[in-house]
Amino acid sequence: MGRKQVIFIALLIAILVLLPVVVKKDNIINLALLVLLYICLASSWNILGGYTGQTNLGHAAFFGLGALSTRFLWMSGWSLLPSVLAGGLLAVAFALLIGIPAFRLRGVYFAIGTLALAQILYITVGNVFSDISSLRPQDLATYQLVPRYYFFLVLALLITGTTYLLVNSKLGLGMMAVREEEEAAESLGVSALKHKLLALSISAFFAGLSGGAFAYYHVGYYPRFPFSPEWTFDSMMMVYIGGAGTIIGPIIGALFFVVVRELLALKLVELHLIVFGILFILVVLFLPGGFVEAWKKMQAAFARRSKERGVKVSFQTTDD
Amino acid sequence: MHFLKVERLCKSFGGLMAIHNLDFEIEEGEIVGLIGPNGSGKTTTLNLITGFLKPDSGTITFRGEDITGLPRCRACQKGIARTFQLTKSFLNFTALQNVMVGRVYGREPTGNLRVAAEESRASLQRVGLLDKAEALAKDLTLMERKRLELARALAAKPRLLLLDELMAGLNPGEAEEAMQLIKQIRDSGITILVVEHIVKAILGLSDRIIVLDYGEKIAEGLPEEIVHNPRVIEVYLGKAHA
Ligand SMILES: Nc1ncnc2c1ncn2[C@@H]1O[C@H](COP(=O)(O)OP(=O)(O)OP(=O)(O)O)[C@@H](O)[C@H]1O
Ligand SMILES: [Mg+2]
């Protein structure tokens, strides 16, 4: 990381930390919280989908399991942090359980397989826990948005920071090698299965923690709601729109997603879904690196142009 | 004890016998050539040795250890590295990152990426690709990618190196360079099995040659013996010339 980047990141974090102090409006804080929630989900999806090249369409299952178990433990008297941690670990356990058979499937079959498993869980949870889950009266009486906001902020920083360390380590190199060319990676001693399972577990752990944070945040929802496939597809779209396999991509994607959805704000007709769907297809077809790639290309083009100009100038000076 | 010993190896795809009762040995420090017409089973043999395919029967012993049917990532960890006939580069990686995968994993795994990068540069230099270290693999020419694969395999510190048609498509000058490079690699202590179509290149390079036809070994010997072997001549030139 360059000096400029460090300063930029420090500034960004400072803004996020100070936001609830400066802006006292709940609706703004809530919106910022949603951005953070989506950063958590998209970044965790990115670890397996973006960096390891395995399109997991069952991400919502991890989010849902984290939410389900955290809500249960927390409401039955556990303190918050152990409840959330348990939610993350449950998601990892489930990931390992499905990971070994699922990774026997490749490419589109892996995607379909994970989607099917998550849908089964979604329907089952809907049938078993059909009553709405509401916070207890004593929690409602003391409910505050700001600590929830900070909870998500810490989680987003944790996930982003861990991803940064991971992708700059040996294991990250192995994961990306598996994404680029699995057979070549294995011919050089990289165990593809081990790296996929590792990426899946980390991805699931963070999604589980995010689900835990959701259980802490949301006042009342049907237990199956966090298992809904839209969490998966939203995360995936954010990652691709922002830039898959980059640190900043999911962050940009999440910010863009929430802001545009709010601007469209026609939730009744779910217009934003159509907009994002089309945008997603366009990005996949024409801009495989997402916004991050587009930005890099623009910079490169700009650098070329100013260089050409520089050449002209030097010609003029020699003419003189 | 042989360095590598392949015994009664069989592999079929559906009804097709790709490898049939194949026996051969390689001794430490040799360059062994593996030749044969299209579809004779050369690549399949390499795939069986490296665990990319599981044999139907037979055994493969490397330095006294049975390695038959090990998971494919284990071969490299034990010291057998390979290149691919159709290059398989990590396209969105730089050349240096490509090589680093071999160094960081490979036979002597390390978590120290800085040291790995230094040593990977040395591998790139060895194949004459150091000036492309920061170029993306997808921007390299096919010939450069072939050298990249060699650098990557070397970075994995193999004891045995399997080269699958590394010289295909090179002009005579480039092929000569490649032959010198392969000899240097052997002289640095790495045993080599080369698969090549170009008979001329393999004759100049190999200490010993094995000839396959329809998955069976039809001849084995010194290069001068091979060129005079009637069965080899028959396979390569047709019956009329035998
Ligand atoms: N994975 C596979 N599935 C089915 N058939 C295969 C497979 N791999 C190889 N074969 C067949 O096995 C036979 C041997 O193939 P192989 O690739 O080993 O030949 P080769 O000697 O390397 O040929 P070439 O000189 O063209 O590279 C061929 O008939 C080929 O079509
Ligand atoms: Mg071949």
For the beta sheet containing B57-62, the strands, ordered from the edge strand earlier in sequence to the opposite edge, are B16-26, B4-13, B57-62, B65-66
Which atom of ligand 1 lies nearest, measured to the CA of B14? 4
Q: Which residues of A touch B111 (CB under 8 A)?
A: 169-170
For ligand 1, atom 1: residue with the closest CA: B13
For ligand 1, atom 18: residue with the closest CA: B41
In chain B, the residue whose alpha carbon lies closest to the alpha carbon of A192 is B73
Look up the pTM and report it.
0.92
Quote the CA–CA distance of A315 and B145 in Å, as a whole number: 38
What local confidence, expressed as pLDDT, does residue A279 receive? 85
What local confidence, expressed as pLDDT, does residue A294 receive? 87
What local confidence, expressed as pLDDT, does residue B240 receive? 55
Distances (CA, A) of B51 to A275, B30, B68: 47, 22, 7
A317 has pLDDT over 70: no
3-state secondary structure of B71: coil
Quote the CA–CA distance of A107 and A109 in Å, as a whole number: 5
Q: Which residues of A touch B50 (CB under 8 A)?
A: 187
Distances (CA, A) of B157 to A38, A123, B210: 44, 52, 25
3-state secondary structure of B118: helix
What's the B44 CA to ligand 1 centre distance in angstroms? 6
B128 has pLDDT over 60: yes
Q: Which residues of A touch B163 (CB under 8 A)?
A: none
Query: What does the pLDDT average to over A295-319?
Result: 65
pLDDT 10s digits, A55-72: 999 999 999 999 999 999
User: Does B184 contact A at CB distance below 8 Å?
Assistant: no
Q: Within 10 A of A79 (CB to CB), how many other CB atoms are there?
A: 9
pLDDT 10s digits, A180-231: 999 999 999 999 999 999 999 999 999 999 999 999 999 999 999 999 999 9
Quote ipTM for the complex: 0.94
User: Does B2 contact A at CB distance below 8 Å?
Assistant: no
For A136, what's the count of Cα atoms within 13 Å in the CB-facing half-sphere? 9
**What confidence tier does A285 reach under pLDDT thresholds 50, 70, 90?**
confident
| DSSP label of A172 | H
pLDDT 10s digits, B38-90: 999 999 999 999 999 999 999 999 999 999 999 999 999 999 999 999 999 99
Q: Please tell me the distance in Å from A178's CA to the nearest CA on chain B.
A: 9
Under 8 Å between Cβ of A216 and A148: yes
Which residues have CB under 6 Å of ligand 1?
A: B 13, 16, 18, 36, 38-44, 85
Q: Please tell me the distance in Å from A292's CA to the nearest CA on chain B.
A: 15
Contact criterion met (CB < 8 Å) for A188 and B152: yes
Q: Could you tell me what percent of chain B has a pLDDT over 70?
A: 98
Quote the CA–CA distance of A149 and A33 in Å, as a whole number: 5
Which atom of ligand 1 lies nearest, measured to the CA of B195? 22
